[in-house]
Structure 1
Amino acid sequence: MANSYSQRRIRKIVRRFGLIPLRSESVASFYRKNAIIRVQTESGSYAMKPFYRSLLLRSGTIDQIKTTADYIQFLMNSGFNNMPKWLKSKDGRIWILNQGRPFYVTAWIHGRKLETPADFEKLGRALASLHSSRFLSMNSTFFDHIHLWKNRDRLFRSRMTIANQANLWTHRWFKRFGASCIQFSDRTWTELKTPEIANLLKKEMVRPALIHNDITAHNVIISNNGQLFIIDWDHMKLGSIYVDLAITLMNTTQFNPVFMHSLLKGYEELRPLNHAERKLISALYRLPREAWHIARFPDHPRSRNMLDIMEQTWLLRLRAMDVLDEWANSGPN
């Protein structure tokens, strides 16, 4: 939303969760101006958040918030303690509808960002704990990231010429790095066809796990008492734990080998990975997802920023790929 929420609307929403607000303020995210409303009450601070549907799913907003609420309730009942406490509304649900938009309220987590190897070990353990949660339902639908990524890779290849013609800076970038991106993808698709990895993916589709689907450095907080919290669960779904782990490695570790190994160490403390699983994670990490986005939206301002970041970190990315390849090859058979 472009405009801030009125104080009257904020009071009306949070009172349905049993809160009496003293003051509130909008907090921006990387994508939205009013991503979260921080609400101060006599009992502490809370996060009031509008729920946005995933455009990748065919279902409507209400169906998506109902499904997400089921997942969240399942995690709370399972004792998962790496997400903020969700408040229940006066009607017993963990979300309400206001002016056609779903909203939910959680505790506000005071803390800091990921900084140390120990922080990344905590993140690895939290992710492994999440991936160990098996949500069983007759209506469960597996979200196939790999199928989606293959389509985006095909679109990337077909639009490279268009992207090259869009403007000088995209032309220069694709001329320098485009062929390498295609080579990375080709190598990954080849590895995913090997029998051991293909079998992994087939088994996962039969019995998927809950994934967060959007773990970034901004979505992880180390609280003042040292506990790790993952926030922003709007896009959680049943999907591939290997995709979720690969995305988390890319989005949080800054291509730092120490942080990467720390995250993986924490993960394997709770959920050890065999050789095939390690190979799959390394292969998925290699995919140039940012380049795919840039080819889809070459004139978008954010694409220019992404190109600059990719160029500045290119050598670090190559080293990070090597680090994961070494890790994958050192795993148990």
Structure 2
Amino acid sequence: MPVPYPRSQIRGIARQFGLNMISSAPMPSLYRKHAVIRMQTETGTYALKPFIKSELLRTSTVKQMNSAADDVRHLMNSGYLHMPPWLPANSGKLWILDRGRPFYVTAWIEGRPMQTAQDFEQLGQALAALHAIPPGKAGLKRAPALEQIRLWKTKDSFFRKTTARLHQKGRYRRWIETYGKACTSLSERAWSELATPETIRLIKDEAARPSFVHNDVTMPNVILSGDGRLFLIDWDRIRLGSAFIDTAKAIKNTTQFNPEFIQSFLTGYEQHRPLGKAARKTIAALYALPLEVWSAFRFPSRAGSRQMLRTIDRTWQQRVKAVEFMDAWAGLASGIPCPSNIHRKMGRLPRGEST
């Protein structure tokens, strides 16, 4: 199998950023074998990142890269401290186009993943600081949260139809009987809260005052450097959007359903960006949505989907406790059904077999 980025290409790209490369090594992510290239140069270590477009946006890769670079430059000019510095190319731009693909270069951040409650408090501070930066440009024509909610409602509807069909065929029967009703209850509670007049008004107002959002705050994308400073990496998805959604997804993707970590994150966030009652309810409702379940049942026969269903089975009680914690924080009434057969192991979920 050919190497995606030959050394000669990497060396040529490095020169376009004024760097003389000594060595390079591809580094993997959860989803890509060659997600980023670690370059050792005469002036230090850098991360060379091939830009990956979002398929959810109906624009070209180059337009998405250009937009992301403009937003990053704005953050740099605003003094945002939790992003690795981007290196300008010889042209003055923050990216270059090589063989049809955009690339950008940042400082390489060496460090450790989040481990303590204090780390999560610092993450909350970093995300709140990002959301608080004035965008310096016009608002959005549509409320980003409403657009995302419509998409998630479509996924919820697809999940219900899929589980009904699979249950009739006897496939994944045990999983569906154990968790299907509870997942539907979670989404219905969330939809009900998100449909209240105060919540709708809040998320509609966000269109006029959108926030910069990272859109991919996950454990691998958060690094604590040797001096204890927290960095968010992988800024391919930066754009103006909903701070409520960005916050709810960050909590879900990083805190491991641990109430102590969740509380620390929220404490740090509200130190920089206090949240009113309606904002808290909105974030808690968004957090409760069973996004991973919907994703798994989009293609239930895939190995990754089956693994996700086993993971949800194993962590269900922690997930419920985390939702209850968020409800209490937001002042919402909690009432999540706990399946009577919750302790029964799901076992294997092989392709084409009943459960």
Which 4+ residue blocks in structure 1 deviate beyond 4 angstroms? 138-142, 162-168
Tell me the equivalent position of 1:123: 123
| In structure 1, distance between residues paired with 2:175 and 2:14 | 47
| In structure 1, distance between residues paired with 2:10 and 2:141 | 34
User: Are positions 1:291 and 2:305 aligned together?
Assistant: no
Q: Report the residue type matching 2:291 in the other structure.
A: R
| In structure 1, distance between residues paired with 2:149 and 2:225 | 34
Q: Post-superposition shift, 1:123? A: 0.4
- The equivalent position to 1:303 in structure 2, one of 302, 305, 316, is 305
Q: Post-superposition shift, 1:166? A: 8.3
Residues 4, 26 of structure 1: 8 Å contact kept = no
Q: Post-superposition shift, 1:139? A: 8.3
Could you say if the C-alpha distance between residues 321 and 206 of structure 1 is closer, same or farther in structure 2, counting changes exceeding 3 Å? same
- Structure 2-normalised TM-score? 0.89
Q: Post-superposition shift, 1:171? A: 3.9
SS at match of 1:39: strand
Once the two structures are superposed, residues 67-96 of structure 1 have per-residue CA deviations (whole angstroms, 9 ceiling, x without a partner) of 111110110010001010100000001111
Residues 140, 207 of structure 2: 8 Å contact kept = no
Q: Report the residue type matching 1:137 in the other structure.
A: K
| In structure 2, distance between residues paired with 1:66 and 1:163 | 44
Tell me the equivalent position of 2:344: none
Tell me the equivalent position of 1:161: 164
Residues 163, 295 of structure 1: 8 Å contact kept = no
Structure (1/2) with the larger helix percentage: 1
Query: Quick check: 155-164 or 9-18, which moved more?
Result: 155-164
Tell me the equivalent position of 1:267: 269
| In structure 2, distance between residues paired with 1:119 and 1:262 | 8
Residues 141, 238 of structure 1: 8 Å contact kept = no
Q: Report the residue type matching 1:285 in the other structure.
A: Y
* Long gaps (5+) in structure 1: none
Q: Report the residue type matching 2:17 in the other structure.
A: F
How many correspondences in the alignment? 329
| In structure 2, distance between residues paired with 1:309 and 1:180 | 16
For residues 40-189 of structure 1, the aligned pairs below 5 Å read 40-138=40-138, 140=140, 143=144, 144-164=147-167, 168=171, 170-189=172-191
| In structure 1, distance between residues paired with 2:247 and 2:93 | 30
Q: Post-superposition shift, 1:244? A: 0.6
| In structure 2, distance between residues paired with 1:5 and 1:183 | 47
Q: Post-superposition shift, 1:141? A: 6.0
Could you say if the C-alpha distance between residues 139 and 60 of structure 1 is closer, same or farther in structure 2, counting changes exceeding 3 Å? farther
For residues 216-255 of structure 1, the aligned pairs below 5 Å read 216-255=218-257
Could you say if the C-alpha distance between residues 3 and 291 of structure 1 is closer, same or farther in structure 2, counting changes exceeding 3 Å? farther
| In structure 2, distance between residues paired with 1:165 and 1:129 | 49
Could you say if the C-alpha distance between residues 135 and 269 of structure 1 is closer, same or farther in structure 2, counting changes exceeding 3 Å? same
Could you say if the C-alpha distance between residues 7 and 141 of structure 1 is closer, same or farther in structure 2, counting changes exceeding 3 Å? farther
Identity over aligned pairs, percent: 47
Q: Post-superposition shift, 1:189? A: 0.5
Could you say if the C-alpha distance between residues 159 and 195 of structure 1 is closer, same or farther in structure 2, counting changes exceeding 3 Å? same
Once the two structures are superposed, residues 240-281 of structure 1 have per-residue CA deviations (whole angstroms, 9 ceiling, x without a partner) of 111111101111011111110000000000111111111111
| In structure 2, distance between residues paired with 1:305 and 1:3 | 29
Q: Report the residue type matching 1:99 in the other structure.
A: R
| In structure 2, distance between residues paired with 1:296 and 1:253 | 25
Could you say if the C-alpha distance between residues 166 and 250 of structure 1 is closer, same or farther in structure 2, counting changes exceeding 3 Å? farther
Could you say if the C-alpha distance between residues 139 and 241 of structure 1 is closer, same or farther in structure 2, counting changes exceeding 3 Å? closer
